[in-house]
Each structure stands twice: as C-alpha cells, then as structure tokens.
C-alpha cells in the first residue's frame, strides 16, 4: 500500500549477497510497476494504478539502498525528495483518473484485476522472503514486516475490489479502493518529502560545520 513504512534494510555490515538481493528486489519491483501500470490502462482499473505506486516507491528505495555507499547524505536526501514528490504526483493522477472513470462510466475488467493483484502479492512475498535474511536487528525486522504487510494489504484490496466489480458489475469497488490508496500515496509522498527536506537541511549544516570546524 502506501510506502511510508517501506525502506530497504541497510545492515551495518552487509552480508555477502545483499547487493544481489537488492538488485533482484529492484528488478521485481520495477517489473511489477510496469505490469500493473499497463494492466491498469488495459483493464480500466484505477486500483491497479494506485497499487503500482507502491512498486515505484519501493523501486526507488532499492535504488537508494544500492547507492548508499557511493552517495553522500545530501544526494540521498535529494533523491528521496524526488521520490516523495513523484509518489504524491502519482497519487493525484490516480484520484484524477478515478474521477475521469467515474464520469465516463467505464467498468473495469475484473479478471485482469484479480490476476495482476495476485501476481503483485506473490512478487511482494518473494521480495520479502529474499530481503528478510538480511535484516539487521529488531527495528529492521519490524520495518520489513510492516512494509510487507502493508504491501500485501494493498494487493489483497485490489483482489477484493476485483471481486466487488465482478459481483456488482459496477466500477465503484475499484474506485473506492483506488481513492483510499491514492490518498495514502499522497500522504506517504508528503511525509517522505518532509523527511527528505530535514535530511537535506541536516546534511548542509553538517557540511558547513565540517568545512569550518573552528566555528562552533
């Protein structure tokens, strides 16, 4: 679902294979972002589009984790800022699309929704199992668990919406789920932006004080 709880684990002493695991996680998430995005356009399902935002956000997290060694705090903050803004913009696009679908009276195709929702769930469970080996300490374990749980809730919500569309022959279960998830994506995006701005500010101050250590 909304990715505020999602961040890739960053073990203090990365085990061999951790980078490879991050790469696998990145490709799976990018692929599912595209699959859900295309499926949402083809099926007319807005909740699939909303679920795709999470795969985008998680892909960005894995890019950030993979570049953690080569990038300074300032650039990490800037990258997170771009990620947060993009997530919020995607959320707004989802809400706009929901309004457009509502007015055009399109009923989404429930079979595609159900199948792609299930694929997304499988992808998230596989990535969680791959990364779980590399968790570092209780808080990291908790964040992997929370993230996976929230992602799974989003995937299941899409499948429930598919059942609802199938049962009612209307778009409203899809639009209801899409509106909630789009709203959550905006909230998550805004909170990512807030954190990123704090990090950027902190990094700038740290670089100022390290440039002139005599000034206290």
Distance CA(77)–CA(196), nearest Å, equals 5
Q: Counting contacts by CB under 5 A, is residue 54 touching Zn ion?
A: yes
Distance CA(86)–CA(196), nearest Å, equals 13
Contact residues for 211 (Cβ-Cβ < 8 A; gap 6+):
none
Q: Return the number of the residue (95 or 192) whose C-beta is nearest Zn ion.
A: 192
Q: Counting contacts by CB under 5 A, is residue 6 touching Zn ion?
A: yes
Q: Return the number of the residue (60 or 101) whose C-beta is nearest Zn ion.
A: 60
Stretch of 4-12, 92-100, 133-141, 165-173 lying at the interface with Zn ion (CB under 5 A):
4-12
Q: Counting contacts by CB under 5 A, is residue 36 touching Zn ion?
A: no
Q: Return the number of the residue (54 or 140) whose C-beta is nearest Zn ion.
A: 54
Contact 24, 130 (CB under 8 A): yes
Q: Counting contacts by CB under 5 A, is residue 58 touching Zn ion?
A: yes
Exposure class string for 14-44: b at 16+ Cβ within 10 A, else e: beeebeebbebbbebbbebbebbbebbeebb
Q: Return the number of the residue (3 or 60) whose C-beta is nearest Zn ion.
A: 3
Contact 115, 202 (CB under 8 A): no
User: Residue 119 is encoded by which pair of tokens?
Assistant: 């694929």
Nearest to 9 by CA among 145, 159, 164, 151: 145
CB of 89 to Zn ion, least distance (A): 17
Q: Return the number of the residue (66 or 106) whose C-beta is nearest Zn ion.
A: 66
Q: Counting contacts by CB under 5 A, is residue 51 touching Zn ion?
A: no
Question: What is the pattern of x (binds Zn ion, CB under 5 A) and - over residues 134-173?
Answer: -----------------x----------------------
Contacting residues toward Zn ion, per CB under 5 A:
3, 6, 54, 58, 151
């Amino acid at each position: 679902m909304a990715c505020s709880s999602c961040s890739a684990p960053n073990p203090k002493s990365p085990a061999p294979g951790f980078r490879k695991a991050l790469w696998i996680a990145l490709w799976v998430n990018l692929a599912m972002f595209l699959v859900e995005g295309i499926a949402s356009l083809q099926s007319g399902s807005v909740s699939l589009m909303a679920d795709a935002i999470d795969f985008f956000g998680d892909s960005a997290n894995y890019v950030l984790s993979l570049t953690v060694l080569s990038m300074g705090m300032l650039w990490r903050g800037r990258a997170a800022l771009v990620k947060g803004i993009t997530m919020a913009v995607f959320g707004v696009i989802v809400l706009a699309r929901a309004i457009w679908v509502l007015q055009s009276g399109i009923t989404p195709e429930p079979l595609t929704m159900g199948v792609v929702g299930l694929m997304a769930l499988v992808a998230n469970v596989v990535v969680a199992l791959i990364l779980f080996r590399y968790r570092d300490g209780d808080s990291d374990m908790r964040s992997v668990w929370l993230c996976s749980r929230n992602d799974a809730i989003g995937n299941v919500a899409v499948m429930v919406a598919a059942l609802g569309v199938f049962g009612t022959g209307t778009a409203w279960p899809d639009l209801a789920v899409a509106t909630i998830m789009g709203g959550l994506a905006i909230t998550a995006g805004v909170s990512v932006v807030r954190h990123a701005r704090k990090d950027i500010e902190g990094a700038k101050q740290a670089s100022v004080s390290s440039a002139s250590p005599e000034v206290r």
